[in-house]
Amino acid sequence: METGPAPVRQLDADTISELNEAAQALLDAYGSAEHPDLLKAVPAAAAALSDRVRHHCRPHETDDGVYVIRGLSVDDAALGPTPGHWSTAGDSGAVWDVILLLLATVMGRPIAWEGQQDGRFVHNIVPSPGHEQEQTGASSTVLLSPHTEDAFHPGRAHLLMLGCMRNPDNIATTASSIRRTELQSEDVALLSEPVLPILPDDSYTEAQASGLEPPAVPTLWESEDGLTLRFDPAYTPLDQASDAHRAAYARLSAELERVTAPVSLTPGDILIVDNDVVVHGRVPFRARYDGSDRWLKRASIRIPGRATRPAAERDEHGYGQAAVVAPA
């Protein structure tokens, strides 16, 4: 299957065995990927991984801001049917949860959210009945608009990891890098001003009900590494902005659409997205709800000391949501 713009890092047999054995050993010792003692044991297990693993986890090397780690396999029969809702997934694919935690710990610090998926560090992304037209990972029949993951929050991930468990219909994730766009300097300057808030998405009902005053945030800014963005049009009240700001935002949206490329994942693929550089989404599809639908696992990663965000973000309230950082 094509992976669109994403460079592929192919794991060799020894690295595949190393990751599988390390993950299984942790599961055998603690029983569940969400066991507190397993989470405490992950850093030492990750530190013991070879340089081969670390080489595959190095930062992205192109302005596309994405890459795919390939070579791991999914036992489809052992995985069981795709759940109809994240809350019914249980420990299905638990070895994959641990693999993602190990890789995330090599790259940085895994984070969870108190108000999303019961605070789990690895989320199950599946289509759910009744959510088909939402702008969340549970949707299906609508285009999931390109967005920064958890754009409403100053503590959002630097990296996003999407592990493919099942994708029989070759449903594409979309990726658009701000560093592939061609923007006028006037638009960059205008969108670098904190004019509009980004509101919590429908995955965060407690944050939506917080009653806190939404802070205005910039859409674009220049970091040491280049242009970065914070973008979620579905939850940005553009009607509150001036005509000039809305026009600049529309031109940015058009540019991101122009450079959008599909990334089609097959079972065992792991997509790494730089959440400061790339907005991601998903093409529409029709869910069958028969246990065979698309199923991804998602982990979010912070990189300590990464200087890619305005200092003013530290003063934001995050709508009362707290990120839980995995043990170091």
- Specify the range with the lowest mean pLDDT, choosing from 74-78, 187-191, 227-231, 305-309: 305-309
Return mean pLDDT, the chain. Answer: 94
> Strand 8-10 relative to strand 66-70: parallel, antiparallel, unpaired?
parallel
Tell me what pLDDT residue 200 has. 95
2 pLDDT exceeds 60?
Answer: no
Four-CA torsion 231, 234, 237, 239, nearest 10 degrees: 110
pLDDT band for position 5 (cuts 50, 70, 90)? low
- Residue among 41, 44, 50 nearest 19 (CA): 50
pLDDT single digits (tens) 7-38: 999 999 999 999 999 999 999 999 999 899 99
Q: For residues 231 and 227, give the distance between their C-alpha atoms in angstroms, rounded to a whole number.
A: 13
How is residue 242 written in tokens? 């001036």
Amino acid identity for residue 278 in this structure: V
Sheet containing 172-177: which strands, arranged edge to edge? 144-147, 278-282, 172-177, 261-264
How is residue 229 written in tokens? 């963005």
Query: What is the mean predicted confidence (pLDDT) over 175-203?
Result: 96
Q: For residues 288 and 128, give the distance between their C-alpha atoms in angstroms, rounded to a whole number.
A: 10
> Strand 109-113 relative to strand 295-302: parallel, antiparallel, unpaired?
antiparallel
What is residue 129's DSSP assignment?
A: T
Is the Cβ–Cβ distance between 86 and 125 less than 8 Å? yes
3 pLDDT exceeds 50?
Answer: no
143 pLDDT exceeds 60?
Answer: yes
1 pLDDT exceeds 80?
Answer: no
- The architecture of the domain spanning 8-317 is 4-Layer Sandwich (3.60)
Give me the residue spans of the domains in the chain: 8-317
4 pLDDT exceeds 60?
Answer: no
Is the Cβ–Cβ distance between 276 and 308 less than 8 Å? yes
Strands (E), the chain: 8-10, 66-70, 109-113, 122-125, 144-147, 159-166, 172-177, 220-223, 226-229, 261-264, 270-274, 278-282, 295-302, 323-325
Residue found by looking up tokens 């309230």 in the block = 317
Query: What is the mean predicted confidence (pLDDT) over 142-152?
Result: 93
Q: For residues 5 and 67, give the distance between their C-alpha atoms in angstroms, rounded to a whole number.
A: 8
pTM (two decimals): 0.95
pLDDT band for position 144 (cuts 50, 70, 90)? confident
pLDDT single digits (tens) 215-237: 999 999 999 889 999 999 999 99
130 pLDDT exceeds 50?
Answer: yes
pLDDT single digits (tens) 246-295: 999 999 999 999 999 899 999 999 999 999 999 999 999 999 999 999 99
